[in-house]
Amino acid sequence: MDEDLAPPPRDRRGLRTGFTTGSCATAAAKAATIALVGSVSPGTVTIALPIGGTATFTPVRWATGDGWASCAVVKDAGDDPDATHGAFIHARVEWQDGAGIALAGGEGVGVVTLPGLGLEVGGPAINPVPRQMIVAEVAEAAGAALARRGLRVTITVPGGEEIARKTLNGRLGIIGGISILGTWGIVKPYSTASWRASVVQAVQVAAANGQREVALCTGSRSEKFAMRYFGHLPPIAFVEMGIFTGDALRACKRAGVRWAAVCGMVGKFAKLAQGRMQTHVAGNQVDTAFLAEVAAGCGAGPDLHAAIRGANTARHVGELVEEAGLEVAFYGELAALTHARCVDHVQGRLRIEAVLFDFGGRVLGRAAGTMGGVAS
């Protein structure tokens, strides 16, 4: 990328707000419309943001021809670790027969192949709010010219297919590129909101495609193990929920899922067993005192109890338990407690199975059933 076109470098303090792909596409579309209607390419363009206020962008990579104009806006995600940071979001605006504004996706914009996203199957992955933004800003820029003929707006993202490999798009049935997203218009640095939303959306897509059994996994490694363990389930039934166990379980309940497997390793299960349904590391450390009590209930003596209380990590706790020969009882109890807390979280309205893996994919503990019914 040319240095003069690159977004500002990220600030290690993580404070700088950025803009969504939806805002960038809107700005590019508005600028191209101004150039098409007024025959002058604007140096900057200002759009309204859904969250309120406005934002000003600098269009680049201009091109014009007979009846069309195009430009791009460089995606600046601020200090958020966004895969689309630095991407060029292009818009080509051209006259078309008929009235109104037609919106299309081109190179690098994904195509929707599965229901459950609120978008037309076979259409471009341009979400509802960005669609509204683009149409509104293009209509404003076109003005009275729209009364005479219509406009076609095509959004493209060169390299978008490669960028999409770093996202969950493939799991959601979006192929060939990225999604044009954004409900606020801005990206808050290191915000978990989009992460949470993607987890809920993954559950909704699975349910919309007939899946009544899903596997909710705390990370990519546990997902790999779960895919092997629950080999009868199709890939769409596996959701990498990360830290959002509670949100994923509630999404399952709302979407009509009947059975969910909660799959993870000892660190996450140590938190879930206490009912902590969001398992982020920051401000939510593993409670070794709690694990020491679990071990005591499984037969751990005073020395082991003290060693577990002073352990560095949940993995360290596991090593101590295994050295003492208590792993079957300890891991079984941890799985049973996790199962019970998850069932409590959905008021017993979802059949749940808790599967605890070690770091090599071996099942250490398992609990299944409904409220009050546990099998290990």
Q: Please tell me the distance from the alpha carbon of residue 224 to that of residue 237, in angstroms, as a whole number.
A: 13
Three-state DSSP state, 351: strand
What does the pLDDT read at residue 369?
Answer: 74
**pLDDT given for residue 9 in this prediction:** 58
> What are the beta bridge partners of residue 154?
92, 104
What would the two tokens of residue 265 be? 């390793």
Report DSSP letters for 247-268, one per residue: HHHHHHHHHT--EEEEEE-HHH
- Position 163, amino acid: I
Contacts of 13 (CB under 8 A, 6+ apart): 79
Q: What is the pLDDT, as a whole number, of residue 213?
A: 96
Q: Helix H segments across the chain? A: 21-38, 128-142, 160-164, 193-208, 220-229, 245-255, 266-272, 288-297, 302-309, 314-323, 327-345
Q: pLDDT truncated to tens, each residue of the chain (376 aa)?
A: 444 566 655 554 446 788 999 999 999 999 999 999 998 999 999 999 998 899 999 999 999 999 999 999 999 987 776 788 899 999 999 999 888 999 999 999 999 998 877 889 999 999 999 999 999 999 999 999 998 899 999 999 999 999 998 887 887 889 999 999 888 888 766 556 777 888 898 999 999 999 999 999 998 889 999 999 999 999 999 999 988 999 999 999 999 999 999 999 998 999 999 988 876 544 457 788 999 999 999 999 999 999 999 887 788 898 899 999 999 999 999 999 999 999 999 999 999 999 999 988 999 999 997 533 444 3
| Cα-only R_g, the chain | 25
Q: Where, residue-wise, is CATH 3.30.2110.10 in the chain?
A: 3-187
Residue type, 345: H
Rounded Cα–Cα distance for residues 38 and 231 (Å): 59
Query: Are 75 and 24 within 8 A, CB to CB?
Result: yes
Cβ-contact 31, 45 below 8 angstroms = yes
Q: How far apart are CA 234 and CA 32, in angstroms?
A: 43
Q: Give the up-direction half-sphere exposure of residue 345: CA atoms within 13 A in the CB hemisphere.
A: 28
Q: How far is CA 36 from CA 30, 71, 94, 130, 341, in A?
A: 10, 11, 8, 21, 59
Helix or strand holding residue 183 (H, E): none
The confidence score (pLDDT) of residue 122 equals 95
Question: Quick one: how far is CA 98 from the chain centroid?
Answer: 38
CA 95 vs CA 68, 148, 160: distances in Å:
7, 10, 26
What CATH number should be reported for the domain whose range is 3-187?
3.30.2110.10
Cα 364 from chain centroid (whole Å): 29
81-99 tens-digit pLDDT? 678 889 999 999 999 988 8
pTM across the whole model: 0.67
- Identify whether the C-beta of residue 334 lies closer than 8 Å to the C-beta of residue 265: no
